[in-house]
Structure 1
Amino acid sequence: MKKICIVFSLLLVNFIARSQASLAPLTVEKIMKDPRWMGTQPSNLQWGADGTTLYFDWNPENALADSLYYITMDNRVPRKATPMQKKDLLPARNLVYNHARTQYLYTKEGDLYLTEVKTAQTKRITQTASPESNPVFAYNDTKVVYQQNMDLFAWDIKTGELQQLISFQKAPAPSRGQEKKGNTQEEWLKKDQLEWLEVVKDRKQKQDAAEAYTKSLPKTRGVRSVYYGDRLVRNAQVSADGRFISYILFSMDQSSKRTIIPNYVTESGFTEDINGRTKVGTSFGSSELYVYDSQKDTVFTIKTDSLPGITDLPDYTRDYPAKIEKDAKKKPSRGVNVSRISWSPKGAHCVVEIVSADNKDRWLMQLDGASGRLSLLDRQRDEAWIGGPGISSFGSNSGWINENEFWYQSEASGYSHLYSYHFGSGKKTTLTHGNWEVQGVTLSADRKYFYLTTNEVHAGEKHFYRLPVTGGKADRLTTMEGANQSVLSPNEKQIAYLHSYSNKPWELYLQDNKAGARPQQITDKAQSELFRSYSWRDPELVQIHAADGKLVPARLYRPANPDPSKPAVIFVHGAGYLQNAHKWWSSYFREYMFHNLLADQGYFVLDMDYRGSAGYGRDWRTGIYRHMGGKDLSDHVDGAKWLAEKYGVDPKRIGIYGGSYGGFITLMGLFTSPGTFAAGAALRPVTDWAHYNHGYTSNILNSPAVDSIAYRRSSPIYFAEGLKDHLLICHGVVDVNVHFQDVVRLNQRLIELGKDNWQVAMYPVEDHGFVEPSSWTDEYKRIYRLFEDVLKKK
């Protein structure tokens, strides 16, 4: 009998241990804890300079923060780097090679170093208080040019001779007689001194004579001074042959008012102000390009007023005929910004990327340094806005294949693809094509291949390819389904990559750089035992027919046992331009777990890549132009109809929620389509686009002063009277992205309208992205309770 009791006790202990180690049933409290409970994922892959060691951030010890780990090609078991190894780490991505790849440059702790590849011998070039930066090889690889503060210097590799190439100064020092005049009293005293005191008069006459003599001497050539005044010096660089120095002078708009975010929960006990951003409609400023020809000792201002189409009015101005008539008389040139300057490897050519201030044109122009003239290589016009993978108003992906061939990305075909331009023949070549996107590009060391990341296999996958620089068929190098974030080793023999799948977080893999190579898994700690104890769903990837005939990609979570009331929830991802209906581990991992919880409780959950989402080309990207809350919202309305028609979801029991842009869509859904969504949770939502930032909003809606129509039909605050269903708003008080002011203004509007079916939860210590597990838990308990109370009510 005693033996039976002992056995029973052991079985009971094992049962309790297994029960405690099981995550099911899911609860908000369990999934919203500090994410370290889930496991640890590697990140930030970087190869060491010699290419034999791969470093990455990782946290298998479940410490407060990640530590640096590494593997070698001889020992692929991850080891923790020592503090000295971390201090001495020289990432390969920070190295700058000469053309022959026999030497490389790097900066460390503000000083400059040169290493011989063959002997691995390193020479320290500088040891100064002021940091050096942006080193390059120039003068046919005989000199090192670098920047100190704003000025450019050239160091001769053979002789060690140092030469200053250009001096940027705020203003010239006044010469004698040009000093700023004093007031009337001061000028009278000065005149009186010279008139009555002989010694003062005598000394002035001698100084004037000395200056006159100095001015009469032949001029000796010194360092060229450039005076920038109140502007900023940007992108100063020298051509490879050393003849030309190009630079940008940027004028920043200092007059625009900045926002203030009050921070109430502080260490001091006082309310403290956080200085925030400006609002949309504020000018970023303007830039001008200059070239200094050291051979002629001449500075050119590069004129952009004759760029092709520079006076073309955007199509949206047709909605404002009075403005068209006014502009037709003046024909003003649109403002432009120079975003990138790129000199060829030997200095014979220069390509300048220029973007219009309204971001509807991007010009690639050839610059003749000797004359300062620009000639057109490529113009991309988009009546919405220039964008897409590898394409940015701050400088797009581009570079040199060789001295005469330049590569770049463009959405000219409707998808971001790779192109080249040959300076000898003037021929433009399409290197990639198809209804998919090139999402990352690097050029091989020998300049014979491009290494590309694309979604050619499926819009919801990312794979790594090798493509000849002449174009043609690309070799696919990664094979595992999902996403592969790849980093090539310096010797290009190995590919390290992070791989994940829809229900499997990121792990580190290593494989040989060839098609068909077998990947080796390096890490295996992304899923803790507790995390593995639950069978996480692999969401179905579906396509939903929109009212306009388009197919909207989406993720669907189907319940094994639908609740008898047949409820459903639609999640709206944030950012607008972001992709979430894909086959890799989502950055919305908390929401992913919450959707599993909802499915366990009998809900259907739909997560759509609505119009404006990333991954599907130009037309999808710009589908929200001048009407946010238009097609992006109607896609979700169509999703609700699809759930009812295909799965028998009760159309009166559909909820919607999301954060940031997702919060905005939630508001627009409840305000402009009452009855479609019985309940909505708008998290950190934009309520009025005229109060958001310029860089994001002006692309999509232009600016309030010139396109008020777009803002009027896109901002929820104007439609608040339409609220009939249940609304929950959650917002961080110290949100520096979407300001808490957005919610306060909407609150006042709802109060004035007499609405009583809404509530607000504020989070005093949270910014736009919540940090505290207690905040995440509180927010999602409220969301869950809203759906349970409204969507399942009898």
Structure 2
Amino acid sequence: MSRFRASGRSAAALLLIASLSLPGIALAQAQPAAQSHAPAQGTAQVPGTSLSIDELYRYRSLVGIPPEGYSWSRDGGTVLFLWNEEGYAFRDIWSYSVRTGKKTRLTFLGRDAKPEAEQKGVAQAVFLDRGRVAFTLNGALHIREADGRVIKVEGDKQAIRKLAVSPDGSKLAFVSGTQVDARNRVTLGGILWVRDASAGEGNLARRTVGDDDPKRYIDDFHWSDDGKAIAFQQADDRAMPERDIFYYAKGGLQNNRVIRAFPGDETTKATVGVVDLASGNTRMFERPDAKHHVWSYGLSGDGKRLFVSGSDMEAKEHSIYLYDVATGTRETFYQLREPKHLRPDWQVAWAPGDDGLIILTDRDGWLQLYHQKKAGETPRQITSGKWEIASFEVDRAKRQLYFVANKSYLSDRQLYRVPVAGGTIQQISGPAPGTHEPVYSPDFRRIADWYSNDTTPPELYLVDTAKPAAKPVQVTKSPQPDFYTQTWANIGYFEFPSHVDGVNLLGRVSLPANYDPSKRYPLIVGSVYSDAVRNQWGGRRAHPTWGLDQYFVAQGYIVLNVNVRGSWGQGRDHNQTQYHSYGETDINDLESGVRFLVSKGYVDPKRVGIWGSSYGGLMTIMSLSKKPGVYAAGIAGAPATNVWHAYPGQMWIMGPPTGPDMPKRYEDQSALFQAKGIKDPLMIIHGTRDPVVLYSDTMALIEGMIQREQMFELVTLPGANHAWASDTLPQARFAFRKMADFFDRNVKNRD
């Protein structure tokens, strides 16, 4: 029996402007009441936005530039954020005062930026003392003084990043690159530096940890609570192979030389250390499995102990080691092995009073919180239920845990808190469905909240944790005025069974606002990927296809996303069925969504298209090959056709390149070896510079297709990276127009 749920509403007041009574799915379109352009009762709505692809994707963004980079002052009274109120790409620094309720633009560095350059602007900003702000721009460190002057400091260092002020506010730490090559490109090695936070101009930082080897670098660090030490993670790529990616662009042959491992190759060696700032003494803490992953680490409040949370390369065994900082003595605090485990979603933090560790783990089948006080003991479960926690923070003073979870519904990410001792879970975010990404003030009194839902582009809201029922304060308003004059897709969610094994699946469907139940519509499945169903603007934040989806709906398509197996949020048993199953279980889930919409009368079964990029490209090619006739056509962007060339981390799912079932296991999961069944139209879009999915693998695929006389269309993007839709606006618009034309010819207008 399937279940259905309407789309979310904004955190602000909303006006329901359309309610469609459809067979099987309840949907509702909503817009902010203050900007509503609702038709009179009973009047027909237009199909969707009237804008073209070029108008949807423009330098002055229609949906605005979302506020990012939230950072609180030490007293929790002011929050910094990076934003552009005019909708251009360049983000300047803004602040919001909790006391006055006023937001203020602190820098005007983007005034002279050319929109077509698509400069991203300030990358990070943090408060120093006396109203001063440190920030990075183009890899250089700057300070905005309290009087508004901007000065550049540490001018002898490049690629400065990861700014962090000590807990007492006296010092600023950061990581910088180590060298510049012959083409004036910074090699992203990393040295850890510390400077006096009250200092001004000059190169005053003291090298704390690291050397000039660009292949051995500080990857991350954390201050101790007393500001006297820093725990850090050092990455060592010296054993990893380097690979040349040759391509033609800008009138000549180019080489993108990268450090890049394939399954079975040597990978990054991660080591955690602690440096005492007064003496400069550094101790590195060795693990018995030094080549394995480190997922998190942290010093105790008293600075005497260090935990390191990691796993084997296949993410099957989760281990937490506890160290004595003074002696380096190690004990195994926690260990659990699960042979089919797929996702390294574990998180660890010190409990209040350093009374053991808080562990986020799916040991009972769902990602929930546990408290373990001593090494080897069975952890006490704090939260439970058939829902999952995405992240958490510890409020040590009040002995509470704040967390983000889909407790309310599978597609939501709401804010909650619970006592460390366990008990009643309290929802902190408002009742409106959607996605929250919180940054907590130091005292946990307030939350700087990135919030979005299916009808609301992301904005900054302020949540008062002492008044969780109160309406949050909206700080930013990012969309341009003409955003509110458009009619957008009608979006909702439905649950349905797999047609193969009956497992419950979740879908997100976008319908034209003037949907006619008597018609059967063409369908586009995608962009297909894992974790593809989320109640937020555009569905998938990592892929800028919100406008393309809206365009398709306005042209009379239905758009479907499916939370395929291997995705977060529906429990360990749900995602573990993806084990050794790239291009099998996942594409069955996609087909189940198509079958369901066809059975409910939404979709014309002869006019179904599918598309995705990277892993989504793998699923697209596998679907066309293994399920002929289900899809009229498919588009594969940067398709991961050969899992022998995947990142080693993909071994979580596909396993290591060894064993008696090799090479068959890898060939079964590689579209390169499974493309013989493709008969329906296929378009491939790929950038020649791609270091993630090699363009040469696309060449290998199409060479085989040519030999088999299989037809396809190839769109080559010279010099484009893996995220080909994010490189430049002209390139994205070109590719999206090619996609729209391809689907119109082969799906919508198919005879």
Instruction: Indicate whether the TM-score tops 0.5.
Output: yes
Q: Structure 1 counterpart of 2:266, which letter?
A: S
Residue 414 of structure 1 contacts residue 618 of structure 1 at CA under 8 Å; is this kept in 2? yes
Residue 218 of structure 2 contacts residue 234 of structure 2 at CA under 8 Å; is this kept in 1? yes
1:410 aligns with 2:345: no
Q: 1:273 aligns with which of 252, 255, 258?
A: 255
Larger radius of gyration: 1
CA distance in 2, matches of 1:242, 1:50: 17
* Distance apart, 1:790 and its partner CA: 2.5
Q: Structure 2 counterpart of 1:779, which letter?
A: A
Q: 1:423 aligns with which of 350, 355, 374?
A: 374
CA distance in 2, matches of 1:299, 1:775: 48
Distance 1:348 1:383, change over 3 A: same
Residue 298 of structure 2 contacts residue 308 of structure 2 at CA under 8 Å; is this kept in 1? yes
1:529 aligns with 2:529: no
CA distance in 2, matches of 1:520, 1:768: 38
3-state SS in 2 of match to 1:640 = helix
Aligned twin of 1:751: 706
* Distance apart, 1:714 and its partner CA: 0.8
1:785 aligns with 2:736: no
Q: 2:247 aligns with which of 256, 262, 268?
A: 262
- The CA deviation string for residues 636-694 of structure 1, in whole angstroms up to 9 with x for no partner, is 12222222211163322221112222222111111111111111111221111212222
Residue correspondence of structure 1 range 341-360 to structure 2 within 5 A: 341-347=297-303, 349-360=305-316
Aligned twin of 1:187: none
3-state SS in 2 of match to 1:595 = helix
Aligned twin of 2:35: none
Residue correspondence of structure 1 range 47-86 to structure 2 within 5 A: 47-63=72-88, 65-82=90-107
Q: Structure 1 counterpart of 2:81, which letter?
A: F
1:512 aligns with 2:464: yes
Aligned twin of 1:608: 562
Q: Structure 2 counterpart of 1:44, which letter?
A: G
Say which structure, 1 or 2, has more relative contact order (CA 8 Å, 6+ apart): 2
Aligned twin of 1:477: 428
Aligned residues: 645
CA distance in 1, matches of 2:441, 2:722: 36
Aligned twin of 2:8: none
* Distance apart, 1:422 and its partner CA: 1.5
CA distance in 2, matches of 1:533, 1:242: 52
* Distance apart, 1:633 and its partner CA: 0.3
3-state SS in 1 of match to 2:604 = coil
TM-score, length basis structure 1: 0.70
- Percent identity between the two aligned chains: 22
* Distance apart, 1:72 and its partner CA: 1.5
Aligned twin of 1:8: none
* Distance apart, 1:245 and its partner CA: 11
1:486 aligns with 2:438: yes
* Distance apart, 1:299 and its partner CA: 12
* Distance apart, 1:567 and its partner CA: 4.3
Aligned twin of 1:283: 266
Aligned twin of 2:419: 468
* Distance apart, 1:573 and its partner CA: 3.5
3-state SS in 1 of match to 2:85 = coil
CA distance in 2, matches of 1:541, 1:682: 25
Distance 1:134 1:58, change over 3 A: closer
- The CA deviation string for residues 440-482 of structure 1, in whole angstroms up to 9 with x for no partner, is 2222251522221221111211222222222221221111321
Aligned twin of 1:692: 646
* Distance apart, 1:718 and its partner CA: 0.7
* Distance apart, 1:780 and its partner CA: 2.5
Residue 579 of structure 1 contacts residue 614 of structure 1 at CA under 8 Å; is this kept in 2? no
Can you give the 5+ residue segments of structure 2 that lack an aligned partner in the other structure?
Answer: 1-45, 110-120, 144-152, 176-189, 197-206
Between stretches 248-257 and 57-66, larger displacement belongs to 248-257
Residue 517 of structure 2 contacts residue 602 of structure 2 at CA under 8 Å; is this kept in 1? no
* Distance apart, 1:779 and its partner CA: 2.2
Distance 1:651 1:289, change over 3 A: closer
Residue 686 of structure 1 contacts residue 738 of structure 1 at CA under 8 Å; is this kept in 2? yes
Q: 1:549 aligns with which of 499, 502, 518?
A: 502
Residue correspondence of structure 1 range 97-496 to structure 2 within 5 A: 252-254=237-239, 256-265=241-250, 269-281=251-263, 282-286=265-269, 336=292, 341-347=297-303, 349-367=305-323, 374-385=330-341, 387-389=343-345, 391=346, 396-423=347-374, 426=377, 428-444=379-395, 446=397, 448-479=399-430, 480-496=432-448
Q: Structure 2 counterpart of 1:703, which letter?
A: P
CA distance in 2, matches of 1:625, 1:596: 34
CA distance in 1, matches of 2:558, 2:232: 57
3-state SS in 1 of match to 2:737 = helix
Can you give the 5+ residue segments of structure 1 that lack an aligned partner in the other structure?
Answer: 1-20, 96-105, 114-125, 156-165, 171-227, 311-333
Residue 406 of structure 2 contacts residue 412 of structure 2 at CA under 8 Å; is this kept in 1? yes
Aligned twin of 1:620: 574
Distance 1:504 1:376, change over 3 A: same
3-state SS in 2 of match to 1:280 = coil
* Distance apart, 1:263 and its partner CA: 4.7
Q: 2:619 aligns with which of 665, 670, 674?
A: 665
Distance 1:738 1:378, change over 3 A: same
CA RMSD between the two structures: 4.7
Distance 1:541 1:246, change over 3 A: closer
Distance 1:428 1:493, change over 3 A: same
CA distance in 1, matches of 2:698, 2:376: 58
Distance 1:647 1:583, change over 3 A: farther
* Distance apart, 1:379 and its partner CA: 1.2
Residue 342 of structure 2 contacts residue 575 of structure 2 at CA under 8 Å; is this kept in 1? no
Aligned twin of 1:201: none
CA distance in 1, matches of 2:605, 2:427: 45
Aligned twin of 2:609: 655
- The CA deviation string for residues 362-384 of structure 1, in whole angstroms up to 9 with x for no partner, is 21233456876544332122323
- The CA deviation string for residues 678-725 of structure 1, in whole angstroms up to 9 with x for no partner, is 111112211112122223x22221233455333110111112221111
- The CA deviation string for residues 558-591 of structure 1, in whole angstroms up to 9 with x for no partner, is 34356998343232335x4423243555346853
In terms of fraction of residues, the more helix-rich structure is 1
Distance 1:519 1:237, change over 3 A: closer
Distance 1:150 1:665, change over 3 A: closer
CA distance in 1, matches of 2:524, 2:539: 16
CA distance in 1, matches of 2:535, 2:509: 11
Aligned twin of 2:655: 702
Q: Structure 2 counterpart of 1:741, which letter?
A: S
* Distance apart, 1:353 and its partner CA: 2.7
Distance 1:150 1:587, change over 3 A: closer
In terms of fraction of residues, the more strand-rich structure is 2
3-state SS in 1 of match to 2:732 = helix
Residue 437 of structure 1 contacts residue 456 of structure 1 at CA under 8 Å; is this kept in 2? yes
Aligned twin of 2:511: 558
Residue 449 of structure 2 contacts residue 460 of structure 2 at CA under 8 Å; is this kept in 1? yes
Distance 1:344 1:33, change over 3 A: closer
Residue 439 of structure 2 contacts residue 449 of structure 2 at CA under 8 Å; is this kept in 1? yes
CA distance in 1, matches of 2:222, 2:473: 42
CA distance in 1, matches of 2:376, 2:658: 45
CA distance in 1, matches of 2:85, 2:194: 46
- The CA deviation string for residues 378-401 of structure 1, in whole angstroms up to 9 with x for no partner, is 212232346354x2xxxx432242
Q: Structure 2 counterpart of 1:404, which letter?
A: D
CA distance in 1, matches of 2:624, 2:448: 46
Aligned twin of 1:498: 450
Residue 261 of structure 1 contacts residue 739 of structure 1 at CA under 8 Å; is this kept in 2? no
CA distance in 2, matches of 1:237, 1:509: 27
CA distance in 2, matches of 1:773, 1:379: 47
CA distance in 1, matches of 2:210, 2:608: 63
Aligned twin of 1:763: 717
3-state SS in 2 of match to 1:594 = helix
3-state SS in 2 of match to 1:276 = strand
